[in-house]
Amino acid sequence: MQRAILITLGAALVSVALEIFLVPNKIIDGGIVGVSIIVSHLSGLPLGIFLFLLNLPFLFLGYKQIGKTFAISTLFAVALMSIGSTLLHPVPPLTIEPLLATVFGGITLGIGVGLVIRSGGSLDGTEIVAILVNKKSAFSVGEVVMVINIFILGSAGFVFGWDQAMYSLIAYYIAFKLIDITLEGFDESKAVWIISEKNREIGDAIIHRLGRGVTFLNGEGGFSGDSKRVIFCVITRLEEAKMKAIVEDLDPAAFLAVGNIHDVKGGRFKKRDIH
């Protein structure tokens, strides 16, 4: 139920971004959405029709190669986006100032797409193509999507003019960043690995001064062959500076590695009270 609500909200936000901000100002998004906007403009037919029809072949691919749940979630999201776009088409744009439309359209679009992806679906067939290409080549999903979108956004220059193509590129970048924020949240989690001779003192300090649990792992130096105690813990982005200060204070020679984590479930990640 929660997944359906988030997909509905995400699809609604994308419809608003397209029909209230971007499309009336001839600003496009990347992927199948961008192709749909261009084809709709050239044919004079409603955008919602192309949003649905052009995504259908990729939905079939997604069902065959990625899974039934993903395909059903994507079909639901694309159908809602198409219906929302059709219903909102007669509504006048909120602004005809291209820069404002670019910024607020990109923000709304990014949040909407992020909610759908976070709920296990997709709103664009190019992501499915990118996943399939990634499985059979050395190119990452991001690289494949980028190449496809450069071509599509470049095509907008011939159809709408190069000013609109550049606004489209800005909107795409804003949406891309907002998708990341929506997926990861402002409290992005980070994994921390620490190797130190003072592992017990550092572990106690993290527990009592930062309020986070730690796990001690047994390791072995690849060069020296010496046994090592590795401290592992998960913190938020806002706690990273304090973590580094704790380690620096107790052992300036300690090895410290910090990496991004997209999701944390289970365990004892809940923060303890600190004084």
- In this structure, of 36-50, 128-142, 201-215, the range with the lowest mean pLDDT score is 128-142
Model pTM above 0.75: no
What pLDDT shows up at residue 226? 81
What pLDDT shows up at residue 97? 93
Residue 203: other Cβ atoms inside 10 A: 20
- In this structure, of 14-28, 74-88, 110-124, the range with the lowest mean pLDDT score is 110-124
Work out the pLDDT band at 188, boundaries 50, 70, 90.
low
Structural tokens at position 226: 């010496």
Instruction: Report yes or no: 101 and 93 within 8 Å, Cβ to Cβ.
Output: yes
How far apart, in whole angstroms, are the C-alpha atoms of residue 97 and residue 21?
A: 9
Structure-model confidence comparison of residues 176 and 80, the more confident one: 80
11-20, 24-33, 235-244, 255-264, range with greatest mean pLDDT: 11-20
- The residue type found at 257 is A
Kindly report the backbone phi and psi dihedral angles of residue 212, in degrees, each rounded to the nearest multiple of 5, phi listed first. Answer: -110, 145
CA distances from 152 to 2, 79, 158, 160 (A): 34, 22, 11, 12
Tens digits of residue pLDDT in 89-129: 899 998 999 999 999 999 999 999 889 888 888 888 777 77
Instruction: Report yes or no: 4 and 113 within 8 Å, Cβ to Cβ.
Output: no
**pLDDT for 269 beyond 60:** no
- Sign of the alpha-carbon torsion through 35, 38, 42, 48: positive
